[in-house]
Structure 1
Amino acid sequence: MSNALQFTAISGANSEDAVCYILEIDDAKILLDCGSYEDYAGEGLAQLQRVAPQVDAVLLSHPDLAHVGAYALAYSQYGLTCAAYATQATQMMGRLCMLDVVKTLAAREEFSLFDEKDVDAAFESVTALQYFQPKALPGKHSGIVITAHSAGHTIGGTIWTISNGAEVVLYALDFNHMKEGHLNRSSLMEGGLGMVNQRLMRPTLLITDSYNALYSLPTRKQRIECFLGSVGDVIKHGGNVLIPVDSAARVLEVAHILNDWWPHDKMRRDTHVLCLLSGYGRRVRSFAQSLVGWMSGGIESQMSDRDAKPFDLRYVTIVQSLEELDRRVRKDSRPRGRSRRAVVLAPLEGMSTGLSQELFLRWAGDRKNAVILPQRGPPSSLARQLYTRWWDRTQTRRTGGSNDSSADASSVVQLAPPVRLSRSTISVTVKKRVQLEGEELDNWIVQEKRRKEQEAAREALLKRKRDMLDDDDVSSASESDDDATERRIGMAAAIGDVSAVAFSEIDLETERLLSGQSFDLYVRGRGPVRGLYLENKSYCMFPFQEMNRRTDEYGEIYELEKYMVKLDTDDATLALDADKPYESDDGGKKESRPTKAVVEERRVQLNCQLSFVDIEGRADGTSVRNILALVMPKRLVIVHGSSAGTKALADYCRDPGVQVTKEIYTPRVGEILNVSSGVNVYRSRLTDTLFKQVRMASVQDSMVGFVSGRVRYAQGDQVPTLDRDGTGLQSAWHPTVLVGDPRLSALRSVLGKQGITALFDSEGSLVCNNVVAIRRGAGKHGGPDTLQVLGNPSADYYHIRAVVYSHFAAL
């Protein structure tokens, strides 16, 4: 039989939107990432809501909005209840990222899609994995095995391999082949100098992105020097610097770079303060210190260089609000009467809302200030609009004023000097909360008082219903249908699962209790027998009912809240407690005065400097093309990139001169692709007698052997059994089968280590010691290609043939 393999893009195909895909292996549906940006809009969410209840497993790759932004929403609202998997670092930092997003949105608009409790519940359900740890999916899909590999780009970032029999799917998005300040490079490039890891080579299907397909980046050293130089120039001129970043992923790399650079100049330490402006900044730093094992070896070596915590960011001051930032700036008097300035890392990276937008509105009009973008930002965001303006201005300079966006579109001037957009404006949508005043405040006070009274009465009524629950086994025989309905309402209310319709009766009784005018309840009873049925009647009675203890199969149910010891929230050890709901660094304080959300459009005058230096930590287009040729997938799906980038990468792979598969797919959102290999896979059992006679040879990470026998079906068994052949054919001669890497380039390296001179001739044959030629030959009857060793019998011929045979496993 053959495995059915289908791929569907929910979001992030032929566009740079957040990523979310469905991979179907036979009848198993696997959700690859679950991303959404902070606007929570678009057709992708509607598609996700439709398929979420059918998903069997979720794989999360990176702890940022593009990969986990919609996971809490799908878990709490869309019925996504299946198992989810991520690395421990992705689980922890992704949780903090989403908590910061919820806090930011709730503080500025009427955001009710999900809350902090939903985020906690969603990420507590994630199964944390280590790198290279194989994990079989539960239940009937146990034949599918997933394995996490390092992707770079973010702490805990993951490349997934999904294996099912002969099918191996490699899901590699947003990987980085270069080592960074706090992260190692991707596991893809752990095969040696310029070589791909053999465990990740030749997948049945490779799913990768074209996000940087059009861009060729300078070296990391040059980009870091340009970034720090841009920050240093603004500091020298006494300006403020805004660097928009995400909440818990790439912010670690940017903060690490600035922290190492900051102490080398005493002047900037006197005139400026380096800040991370985030409600969860302290917790992000604490978690990063606990995840040093997921970082590069350079971070671990710092522990032995000095007596300090790893990744302590000692020169980065963490503040929680703009008011605290202002206090920090005004804290000390500066020399010569100069006021202190700031270099601020502020979320969110899109700048469409949050603290980064507020700082931009405050600083954009001053010529001394600067905005430095370390990444392009989500589509349609404020950061992307600023990047587009920077791009247009630098391209105008580059092309002599023609602003031809098609000129040299395969590269970007990453190290261009800062630009100043003087005498220009930009429209910014500002969402904020304002305090209620006048009549609105009076109406709110009346409604709040009424709500609290109803809530107190309802809670008292629900408590009474809970206390008066009878044992189901005793009362079920004597209950009427109406009584059972009332019991279900009471039970549902006891666990907080009551719909608006079910609460109607409770609200009616609550109103009667609040009025103080009625103390009688109508209690249903049994009427006289008429025919074959009992009649229900109601009697006006004093509301007394015998109290019964609530019990389950283990005995009496206790209210645990009465016996729990309240922990000290200032205890630093609670910072890493995964079972404790995460709170923001300010203790989750809320405004005591009621507010309302308002939206306004502002025209902002742009006088500040604007720079873009790529510190996104992704492989550029040149590197992606080279890696694809080394991975050698059998089929390729290209997603998560602009239409132009996706087309450019696909056209490169389709070039006949490029040694990459020609089965290339560039799906649109909602398009279903059949990416099955069509290879038939048959499963059978080997008897112990036959297995003992098989000679096994090691090939990479597997053991391979040649088997000859007869297939038999046991009665009522669906899986056949392979047993010895009693006719004597088992010991008959069979041609030698060579299993291994047939590439001549790899064979050339093996021959060179044996002291044999091997060179390629004009026809592609490998000529050894000028006496033996090794070339590829077509297999018989359309079979796989073979290697032919050609030459006259001699000592060199037999020696070279022996080396060639030793390079393969002979069966």
Structure 2
Amino acid sequence: MFNFTPLLGAQSASTASQSLLEFDGGIKVLIDVGWDESFDVEKLKEIEKHVPTLSFILLTHATTAHLGAFAHCCKHFPLFTRIPVYATIPVVSLGRTLLQDLYASTPLASSIISTDALTESAYSYQSFMNGNNPNILLQAPIPDEIASYFSLINPLKYSQPHQPLPSPFSPPLSGLTITAYSAGHTLGGTIWHIQHGMESVVYAVDWNQAREHVLSGAAWLGGPGTGGSEVLEQLRRPTAMICSSKRSGLVTIAGQRNKRDEALLFMIRETVGKGGSVLIPSDSSARILELAYLLEETWQKEEIDTDGSSSLKNTRIYLASRTGGATMRYVRSMLEWMEEGIVKEFETASGAQEAQEQKRTRGHGASSKAEDDQAVRAPFDFKHITLLERKSKVSRMLAGTEPRVILASDTSLEWGFSKDAIKSLASDERNLIVLTERVGEKAGQEKGLGRYLWELWNEQSASARQESPSTAVVDPTGNQVVIQSVQVAPLEGNELPIYQQFLARQRQLQTTLQGDSSTALESSADVIDDRSESTSTTSEDSDIEHQGKALNTATTLQHARNRLGLSDAELGINVLIRRKNVYDYEVQGKKGREKIFPYVSKRRRADEFGDLIRPEEYIRADEEDHNTAAVLRDGSKKENAVGQKRKWDEVAVNADGARRMPNSAAKRRRDGDTQHGTAGDADSSESEPEDDPDKVDGPSKVILATETLELRCRISFVDFSGLHDRRTIQMLLPLIKPRKLILVAGEESETLDLAEECRKVLNAGASESTAVDVYTPTIGTVIDASVDTNAWTVKLSRNMVRKLHWQQVRGLGVVAITGRLEAAALDGPPKQEEDGAAKKKVKLETPAPGSEKEERLDTTPILDVVPQNTSTAHRSVAQPFHVGDMRLADLRKAMQAAGMTAEFRGEGTLVINGTVAVRKTRTGKIEVDGGAYGLADPRSTDNGTFFKVRRKIYESLAVVAGNA
């Protein structure tokens, strides 16, 4: 069973992507936690609803459209941080810097509390505010929190099959396997392949088959060295393929990359030659790498030009992003994820730098500035691009009048330094704004500035009827656009009580409805209680563990604030391990767990290579003394002590100055940093933006205003989105051959048009019964894309398991059985008479009626052996058959190991001893042709070559017979 539900990004102008995949057994997989520039929390309601049932999460690209809401969900959704998340290493690193840039650039990323949420939580909201939303902001995650959230992600490499771990509230995954493949488009971008039973699902949203300067193409055709004529075997013939239809209706430049680059550089030369500046809005961590590399390479070539006629030599390039430095540091450490040419360029630069260092050490003295300028630089070690991370530097740069090229975040022009740049450059007709991709809409009928400029260019370029409309430059003189300005202000008047009531309501929901598993409220004391409760159960008369759910609102809030200051009565039997110098506890009259000495098992973190190494355990004595002295010298704040109070918007800090996290989260973060070498805290602190003088400490709100911007600068569009086009899809689909195709992530018109083209391509010459289904779901529509086979899940009885004789085929166990299917008993198994100790154990393990932990009845049917009196009538008469897939290359090695000559002749033909030919057809059938010469080998008195080859083939396959 496989169901697909697009939560966001289906037949919509919004670029946000959220998809829910459901498999047999209650397994739910969330792919992408995207957001758009509206930052509307209502678009995350579906994710919040499904959080308690998710098994794990997958992330595809380090863009706002694919992980923009990740930090918001981690901070404001209970249980979200307990769900395992998987992504490639570049997506983890670049996604961290992206969200740090986002939250530092716009207060709207914190999201405004909705009117419905305020109405539900604040009983006096209607009387105080008259139904008007005061635009109160939620608490935004700080850079250290964002780094901690991304350190919880499990990094993967390409083509690495992995069996993910389920969340604590997920059913078993039953051997589900995920594999990441290169998607192009962004660094570390992923095509996910999910295998569960007979379901083979390929999730390919936003991919690019063409190779670029920095990124290699998608892994459909196996990459370099495979010939590129066939699709990878793992991605071939999936039962369901989810593909994006974005950009399938746009006009592309013939020749793709070279003409695209030439068009951009021609516009830059023309604009700079006239004394104007060029603004290129882009994202801060994904596609900006391609643009920055192209401009740096072009300027480097222009510098070598000796005639001095180039207008680019004296033009400076600026990359404006609040986390640009951290992003480039990450990128320079991930060159193996890039195109092969980048790796060779890095090796050349490393060799040149080593030779230069040797030259210095041999007595030639320090190198001059001219030699340093001519030195070969490693990729993304910019010489001509200046990084701007502070708003003051950007303002100083924009105040100049000299020609310049500006790469600024973000593409939407709604946040980031690109919004400041367009305000400064829009009034000069010499300047040029180059849009690099089609921008999505914000919310409803509201269009952002980037979307408005793209539609303006699209209309005027289409009406001009130029030969190459995709490189047209339009003049928007006379057009005015209304842009939104945001100002942060502290809460005042009745707004503060409303905000406090909202926080109280959220804390009550997290504590009461979600129990003590909320990450925002969890502490080490709760982890101990949760572990003890998970390893033991109480009798039906024990109500101590359920007291928290009977508390009223005031008591719940007080319990949450003073969680570490519990009394001895509230601790119960745990007082023996939670209090010092306490050794006695009265158990008379107690029941269940209260009569057993508490024990907390410490789980050792290990992987397939053994225990994880913690650097703090190998620290030198002098370093340890230095760290201890620093802690004692700084001291600890009184408000951080146990039992002390803090304000709502303050973050708990421990003695080391780090944010207090839940015990499990802190441990996972420490283990993750140690294992994967991430430096989230260091990089986040180095790239942390300057203090904003307008920043408001404490609860705040936004004041939204509008201003009119008159457009006089020119506008153009060069497609640097790095996405597939319709021609690529039409070429690859006949090679991939999906059984069912689902199109998402595109606007309505282009999705429906592409669906018609795909039906023609996939169903050409096919009958109605074998036609491939093509689905175009809307947001929230559930698509049943299950494989069309008769497969069920059954349980094997103990008697059946004893009679099975398994055959191993490439790591899989295969057996043919004949049995009788029986319905599962609705009542539990009868209890047998046992001794007194066993009866007591059964009584203690009986859950209380109405308990949330009461086990559900298992209705899975049971396959049992056929009774002796009916086994003769139902005995299988099927002949034994062979199971497996033999490769000719493996057979060649086996025959050579047996002392025979084996070589390939022609296509798909293996000749052994010059007398026997083995062929493998496209359907997998093995043909052995020996003729008269293969039956008797004149060089041996043993059987002929033909029989030896046949015996080897049989040995490589599993013989399965239905005699169980």
TM-score normalised by structure 1 residue count: 0.68
Is residue 150–residue 186 contact of structure 1 (8 Å, CA) maintained in 2? yes
1:271 aligns to what SS in structure 2?
Answer: coil
Deviation per residue, 1:252-296 (Å, 9 max, x gap): 111111111112335545532111101100000000011111111
Q: Which residue of 11, 22, 26 corresponds with 2:20?
A: 22
Quote the residue 1:395 is aligned against. Answer: 462
* d(CA) in 2 for partners of 1:298, 1:653: 34
Quote the residue 1:295 is aligned against. Answer: 338
Is residue 325–residue 687 contact of structure 2 (8 Å, CA) maintained in 1? no
Quote the residue 2:783 is aligned against. Answer: 673
Q: Which residue of 691, 699, 705 corresponds with 1:590?
A: 691
Say which is worse superposed, 628-637 or 578-587, in terms of deviation: 578-587
CA separation of 1:261/1:719 partners in 2, compared to 1, >3 Å: closer, same or farther? farther
Quote the residue 1:622 is aligned against. Answer: 727
1:136 aligns to what SS in structure 2?
Answer: coil
1:38 aligns to what SS in structure 2?
Answer: coil
CA separation of 1:711/1:381 partners in 2, compared to 1, >3 Å: closer, same or farther? same
Cα offset for 1:228? 1.5
* d(CA) in 1 for partners of 2:413, 2:317: 19
CA RMSD of aligned residues (A): 4.9
Q: How does 1:297-312 map to 2 (within 5 A)?
A: 297-306=340-349, 307=353, 308-312=377-381
Quote the residue 2:440 is aligned against. Answer: 378
1:392 aligns to what SS in structure 2?
Answer: helix
Q: Which residue of 280, 294, 297 corresponds with 1:257?
A: 294
Q: Which residue of 208, 228, 231 corresponds with 1:193?
A: 228
* d(CA) in 2 for partners of 1:398, 1:751: 57
Is residue 709–residue 730 contact of structure 1 (8 Å, CA) maintained in 2? no
Is residue 107–residue 433 contact of structure 1 (8 Å, CA) maintained in 2? no
Is residue 153–residue 183 contact of structure 1 (8 Å, CA) maintained in 2? yes
CA separation of 1:261/1:175 partners in 2, compared to 1, >3 Å: closer, same or farther? same
* d(CA) in 2 for partners of 1:209, 1:295: 23
* d(CA) in 1 for partners of 2:317, 2:555: 50
Quote the residue 2:898 is aligned against. Answer: none
Say which is worse superposed, 390-399 or 579-588, in terms of deviation: 579-588
* d(CA) in 1 for partners of 2:238, 2:30: 19
Q: Which residue of 417, 428, 433 corresponds with 1:355?
A: 417
CA separation of 1:364/1:661 partners in 2, compared to 1, >3 Å: closer, same or farther? farther
CA separation of 1:620/1:107 partners in 2, compared to 1, >3 Å: closer, same or farther? closer
Quote the residue 1:141 is aligned against. Answer: 173
Say which is worse superposed, 374-383 or 102-111, in terms of deviation: 102-111
Cα offset for 1:679? 1.5
Quote the residue 1:11 is aligned against. Answer: 8
Cα offset for 1:689? 8.5
Question: Is residue 759 of structure 2 the alignment partner of residue 654 of structure 1?
Answer: yes
2:7 aligns to what SS in structure 1?
Answer: strand
* d(CA) in 2 for partners of 1:643, 1:198: 32
Q: Which residue of 263, 276, 280 corresponds with 1:239?
A: 276
Q: How does 1:762-773 map to 2 (within 5 A)?
A: none
Is residue 241–residue 369 contact of structure 1 (8 Å, CA) maintained in 2? yes
Deviation per residue, 1:20-69 (Å, 9 max, x gap): 01111020111011100132127532222222232111110000010001
CA separation of 1:644/1:807 partners in 2, compared to 1, >3 Å: closer, same or farther? farther
Question: 2:85 is matched by which residue type in structure 1?
Answer: A
Is residue 36–residue 68 contact of structure 2 (8 Å, CA) maintained in 1? yes
Cα offset for 1:325? 3.4
2:106 aligns to what SS in structure 1?
Answer: helix
Cα offset for 1:170? 0.6
Q: Which residue of 378, 385, 390 corresponds with 1:316?
A: 385
Q: How does 1:661-810 map to 2 (within 5 A)?
A: 661-681=771-791, 690-691=805-806, 710-711=818-819, 718=862, 753=907
CA separation of 1:708/1:106 partners in 2, compared to 1, >3 Å: closer, same or farther? closer
Segments of structure 1 that go 5 or more residues without pairing to the other structure are 332-338, 400-411, 445-465, 473-483, 489-496, 507-523, 527-546, 568-572, 697-701, 742-749, 756-774, 777-784, 796-804
Quote the residue 1:119 is aligned against. Answer: 146
* d(CA) in 2 for partners of 1:636, 1:330: 52
Question: Is residue 237 of structure 2 the alignment partner of residue 206 of structure 1?
Answer: no
Cα offset for 1:249? 0.9
* d(CA) in 2 for partners of 1:237, 1:31: 51
Quote the residue 1:57 is aligned against. Answer: 56
CA separation of 1:807/1:586 partners in 2, compared to 1, >3 Å: closer, same or farther? same
* d(CA) in 2 for partners of 1:807, 1:618: 45
Cα offset for 1:372? 0.5
Q: How does 1:40-51 map to 2 (within 5 A)?
A: 40-41=39-40, 43-51=42-50
CA separation of 1:135/1:736 partners in 2, compared to 1, >3 Å: closer, same or farther? closer
Deviation per residue, 1:724-761 (Å, 9 max, x gap): x99999997579999899xxxxxxxx997489xxxxxx
Is residue 100–residue 280 contact of structure 1 (8 Å, CA) maintained in 2? yes
Quick check: which one's strand share is greater?
1
Is residue 11–residue 669 contact of structure 1 (8 Å, CA) maintained in 2? yes
Cα offset for 1:165? 1.1
Question: 1:616 is matched by which residue type in structure 2?
Answer: S
Cα offset for 1:122? 2.4
1:247 aligns to what SS in structure 2?
Answer: coil
Quote the residue 1:129 is aligned against. Answer: 156
Q: Which residue of 476, 483, 490 corresponds with 1:421?
A: 476
Question: 2:6 is matched by which residue type in structure 1?
Answer: A
Q: How does 1:262-661 map to 2 (within 5 A)?
A: 262-266=299-303, 267-268=310-311, 270-306=313-349, 307=353, 308-325=377-394, 327=396, 339-379=401-441, 380-398=447-465, 413=468, 415-432=470-487, 562=631, 577-580=678-681, 582-583=683-684, 585=686, 587-591=688-692, 597-655=702-760, 656-657=763-764, 661=771
Is residue 414–residue 614 contact of structure 1 (8 Å, CA) maintained in 2? no
Deviation per residue, 1:376-418 (Å, 9 max, x gap): 122232112111111101110118xxxxxxxxxxxx9554331
Question: 1:276 is matched by which residue type in structure 2?
Answer: L
Quote the residue 2:76 is aligned against. Answer: 77
1:580 aligns to what SS in structure 2?
Answer: helix
2:413 aligns to what SS in structure 1?
Answer: coil
Cα offset for 1:137? 2.8
Query: Percent identity at matched positions?
Result: 24
Is residue 284–residue 321 contact of structure 2 (8 Å, CA) maintained in 1? yes
* d(CA) in 2 for partners of 1:504, 1:130: 42
Cα offset for 1:589? 3.4
Cα offset for 1:649? 1.4
Cα offset for 1:630? 1.4
1:583 aligns to what SS in structure 2?
Answer: helix
Question: Is residue 173 of structure 2 the alignment partner of residue 104 of structure 1?
Answer: no
Number of residues of Structure 1 aligned to a counterpart in Structure 2: 638
Quote the residue 1:180 is aligned against. Answer: 212
Cα offset for 1:234? 1.1
* d(CA) in 1 for partners of 2:748, 2:872: 62
Question: 2:463 is matched by which residue type in structure 1?
Answer: T
Quote the residue 2:264 is aligned against. Answer: 227
Deviation per residue, 1:682-735 (Å, 9 max, x gap): 67798899546x8x6xxxxx689996664589999956689xx99999997579
Say which is worse superposed, 21-30 or 592-601, in terms of deviation: 592-601
* d(CA) in 2 for partners of 1:189, 1:661: 24
Is residue 247–residue 348 contact of structure 1 (8 Å, CA) maintained in 2? yes
Cα offset for 1:340? 2.8
* d(CA) in 2 for partners of 1:155, 1:262: 23
* d(CA) in 2 for partners of 1:705, 1:549: 56
Say which is worse superposed, 48-57 or 9-18, in terms of deviation: 48-57
CA separation of 1:664/1:34 partners in 2, compared to 1, >3 Å: closer, same or farther? same
Cα offset for 1:74? 1.8
* d(CA) in 1 for partners of 2:109, 2:20: 33
Cα offset for 1:625? 2.1
Question: 2:773 is matched by which residue type in structure 1?
Answer: E
